């Protein structure tokens, strides 16, 4: 991280391990939308650059889609042959089983200190950091400016205004006045965004799961009655609508508004859809918190090579590499140094609304070993809460039972 004077640190560390003959295996998720922009291209370029200065270390990388990558790593772990490093969606289960190196066993102090504070905090289990944030994003409300102008409405700041806007859009024949993707692809994100806007969340103020709280039940009851029940969420039932399909519909001009992350900007611009972005509406005003999402890098202890892994990860988290990845995939940097650079750079001004949201964002409770089970259950069940015959209280209580059982190891 040359901006912080770490070039010498990395060079010295590399020289110390350069005489070894080590191959490290990395499994990574693919953030690309096609072979043309696959994450493999990013990793191949980064690894070529690293290996050129570290002739004794070889990095082998396997890149899998998000549909497969977590399962692939789990299969490797279950077979007793985990990769040296994995860049996936969750780390807490592996940390709880004692399989991972701590971040301070691997990273130099300046690199570890450079992580954005709330992301670093989310990577901790029992006070120790095991999950190293790799990519992050936040959510804002996207709206179609042309459809809003035709309906004579302005972007909402409250739930009541959002419902009124959706009704006006429906009256103009908009296919999806508000797209509510509670399908299995990423239901946990839309769910948390709404829970936060209702002053609730997956957990309470001390970090314990509180999914069936009165505030959360009230939020999903409102969604069921005031949006879904009034036909304001489009022709596909929310429980069957995936985020990717909702994004495609927005890019096709068929959606009035939806919660979105930075990648939606390029999709909309490619199709000539003029869009606006505003903070997420809340129950009584703009939501005081928004969803922050981070994906994680972790290192398994099974095969050793702690020094080599640490040196490589110091390089991965250099400002140049972090900025390159963030810019390639319209994501937010996970380090403070890269965030400052992006905030001041003209080329990154389109990401400023998301950067501004990051400081007040709340992340999934990924440090709780129960999160993996809760996450899977939300994807399968939450759509039922807003179905015509659905019962929000019953569905949320069932998810709370899942959290309690998973937390106790049942």
Q: How high is the mean pLDDT of the chain?
A: 91
Work out the angle between the directed axes of helices 214-222 and 392-407 (0-180°, nearest 10).
140
Q: Can you give the chain as a three-state secondary structure string? A: CHHHCCHHHHHHHHHHHCCCCEEEEEEEECCCCCHHHCHHHHHHHHHHHHHHHCCCEEEEEEEECCCCHHHHHHHHHHCCCCCCEEEECCCHHHHHCCCECCHHHHCCHHHHHCECHHHHHHCEECCEECCEEEEEEECEEEEEHHHHHHHCCCCCCEHHHHHHHHHHHHHCCCCEEECCCCCCCCHHHHHHHHHHHCCCCCECCCCCECCCCHHHHHHHHHHHHHHHCCCCCCCCCHHHCCHHHHHHHHHCCCEEEEEECCHHHHHHHHCCCCEEEECCEECCCECCCEEEEEEEEEEECCCCCHHHHHHHHHHHCCHHHHHHHHHHHCCECCEHHHHHHHHHCHHHHHHHHHHHHHCCEEECCCCCCCHHHHHHHHHHHHHHHHCCCCCHHHHHHHHHHHHHHHHCCC
- Beta-bridged to residue 258, according to DSSP, are 142
Task: Decide if pLDDT at 10 tops 80.
Answer: no
Q: Is the pLDDT of residue 352 over 90?
A: no
What is the mean pLDDT of the segment spanning 211-238? 98
Query: Among residues of the chain, what percentage have pLDDT more than 70?
Result: 94
pLDDT of 231 over the 80 cut: yes
How many other CB atoms are there within 10 angstroms of residue 67's CB atom?
A: 10
pLDDT of residue 410: 53
Cα torsion 44, 243, 264, 343: sign: negative
Query: pLDDT digits over 27-43, tens only?
Result: 999 998 778 889 999 99
pLDDT 10s digits, 83-112:
999 999 889 889 989 999 999 999 999 999
**Least confident span in 49-53, 250-254, 261-265:** 261-265
Is the pLDDT reported for residue 19 higher than 60? no
**Residue 323 exposure: Cα atoms within 13 Å on the Cβ side:** 18
Domains by residue range for the chain, with CATH: 2-130+294-359 (3.40.190.10), 138-289+366-407 (3.40.190.10)
Q: Average of pLDDT values for 150-170?
A: 98
Q: Poorest-confidence range of 165-174, 311-320, 363-372?
A: 363-372
The pLDDT of 169-187, averaged and rounded, is 96
């Amino acid at each position: 991280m040359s901006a912080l004077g770490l070039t010498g640190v990395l060079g010295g560390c590399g020289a110390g391990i350069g005489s070894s003959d080590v191959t490290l295996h990395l499994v990574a998720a693919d953030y690309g939308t096609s072979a043309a922009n696959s994450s493999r291209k990013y990793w191949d370029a980064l690894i070529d650059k690293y290996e050129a200065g570290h002739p004794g270390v070889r990095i082998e990388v396997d890149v899998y889609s998000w549909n497969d990558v977590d399962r692939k790593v789990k299969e490797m772990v279950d077979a007793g042959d985990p990769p040296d490093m994995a860049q996936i969606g969750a780390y807490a289960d592996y940390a709880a089983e004692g399989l991972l190196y701590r971040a301070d066993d691997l990273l130099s102090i300046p690199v570890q200190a450079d992580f954005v504070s709330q992301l670093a905090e989310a990577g901790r289990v029992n006070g120790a950091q095991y999950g190293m944030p790799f990519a992050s994003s936040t959510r804002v409300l996207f709206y179609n400016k042309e459809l809003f102008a035709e309906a004579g409405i302005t972007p909402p700041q409250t739930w009541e205004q959002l419902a009124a806007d959706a009704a006006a859009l429906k009256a103009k024949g908009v296919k999806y006045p508000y797209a509510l993707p509670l399908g299995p692809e990423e239901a946990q994100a839309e769910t948390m965004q709404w829970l936060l806007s209702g002053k609730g969340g997956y957990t309470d103020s001390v970090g314990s799961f509180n999914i069936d709280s009165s505030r959360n039940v009230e939020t999903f009851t409102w969604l069921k009655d005031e949006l879904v029940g009034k036909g304001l969420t489009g022709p596909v039932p929310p429980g069957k609508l995936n985020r990717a399909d909702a994004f495609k519909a927005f890019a096709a001009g068929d959606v009035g508004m939806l919660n979105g992350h930075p990648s939606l900007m390029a999709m909309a611009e490619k199709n000539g859809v003029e869009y606006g972005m505003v903070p997420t509406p809340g129950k009584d005003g703009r939501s005081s918190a928004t969803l922050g999402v981070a994906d994680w890098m972790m290192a398994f202890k099974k095969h050793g090579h702690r020094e080599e892994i640490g040196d490589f990860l110091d390089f991965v988290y250099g400002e140049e590499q972090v900025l390159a990845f963030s810019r390639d995939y319209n994501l937010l940097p996970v380090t403070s140094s890269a965030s400052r650079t992006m905030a001041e750079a003209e080329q990154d001004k389109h990401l400023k609304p998301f950067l501004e949201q990051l400081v007040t964002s709340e992340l999934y409770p990924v440090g709780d070993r129960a999160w993996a089970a809760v996450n899977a259950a939300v994807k399968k069940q939450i759509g039922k809460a807003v179905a015509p015959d659905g019962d929000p209280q019953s569905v949320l209580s069932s998810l709370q039972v899942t959290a309690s059982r998973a937390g106790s190891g049942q």
